[in-house]
Amino acid sequence: MINLSDKVALVTGSTRGIGKATAYKLAQAGAKVIITGRSEDRAKAIAQEISSQVGVQTFWAELDIGSAESIDRAVRKINEEVGDVDILVNNAGITRDTLFVRMKLEDWEEVLRVNLTGTFLITQKLVKGMMKKRWGRIINISSVVAFIGNVGQTNYASTKAGLVGFTKTLAKELASRNITVNAVAPGFIETDMTDTIPQDIRQKFLEQIPMGRFGSAEDVANVVLFLASDLASYVTGEVVHVNGGLL
């Protein structure tokens, strides 16, 4: 059984979907989890929910990953109330889907700012504590679209592909400090984001998946838990695909 009782874990975008499932999974393994999201009330509510259901101390911080100022405030709060973060799961992300020829510059720049620049900023803030301890886990949530593309998502797919390069390079820089950096690339997972896909398109996606179903948020969270544990102490710079055989 995985035991993370001496670890502090921060999951960005953890008030719903994959982030929430991951927070639950890490808390069930004993970690002190920090719930983050753009809504302070929502983050606080999820932290209280996990704490009462799992029975471990859970924290929260308002965090807009697309804002450098918000990241600074959240990190100060975390340092004061919790201390250094041992496990960072970079999950927060947005979509602004449209065909490339119709894509506005602001749609391109906003997705890059949130999905890629935000990941860079919060990781840079929190990795220093890991370096001092000479132990850390950084897990970046990429996507299958980084590898196969998807119509209408040049901005989103570019950021998720960028996270792969970020992962592999940072893994080499931090390996000597006993910090692993890996990515998880989910396929089509049942979340609020995929719920908006029209039924006919969902059916086409489903037909491409050998396992014949969409994944669950817990399917992804299970892999994150493994990568966060000592079971994965010699795994770094890798991308783990969770897509039911789609890729």
**Residues 32-59 pLDDT 10s:** 999 999 999 999 999 999 999 999 999 9
pLDDT at 156: 97
Other beta carbons less than 10 A from residue 60's beta carbon:
27
Residue-range definition of the domain harbouring residue 13? 8-189+217-242
Determine the pLDDT at residue 193.
Answer: 66
What is the domain count for the chain?
1
Q: 3-class secondary structure for the chain?
A: CCCCCCCEEEECCCCCHHHHHHHHHHHHCCCEEEEEECCHHHHHHHHHHHHHHHCCCEEEEECCCCCHHHHHHHHHHHHHHCCCCCEEEECCCCCCCCCHHHCCHHHHHHHHHHHHHHHHHHHHHHHHHHHHHCCEEEEEECCCHHHHCCCCCHHHHHHHHHHHHHHHHHHHHHHHHCEEEEEEEECCECCHHHHCCCHHHHHHHHHCCCCCCCECHHHHHHHHHHHHCHHHCCCCCCEEEECCCCC
Instruction: Give first-to-last CA distance, the chain, whole Å.
Output: 30
204 within a domain of the structure (yes/no): no
pLDDT at 157 (0 to 100): 98
Each residue's pLDDT tens digit, 151-169: 999 999 999 999 999 999 9
Q: Catalytic: which of 156, 166, 188, 214?
A: 156
For residue 206, being part of any structural domain is answered with no
Residues in the chain where the model's pLDDT stays below 50? none
Residue 106 belongs to a domain with what CATH number?
Answer: 3.40.50.720
| Domain annotation covers residue 205 | no
200 falls within a domain: no
Confidence (pLDDT) at 204: 85
In a domain, 198, yes or no: no
Tell me whether residue 13 is in a domain. Answer: yes
Note whether residue 91 is domain-resident.
yes
In a domain, 47, yes or no: yes
156 is catalytic: yes
* Residue-level pLDDT at 230: 96
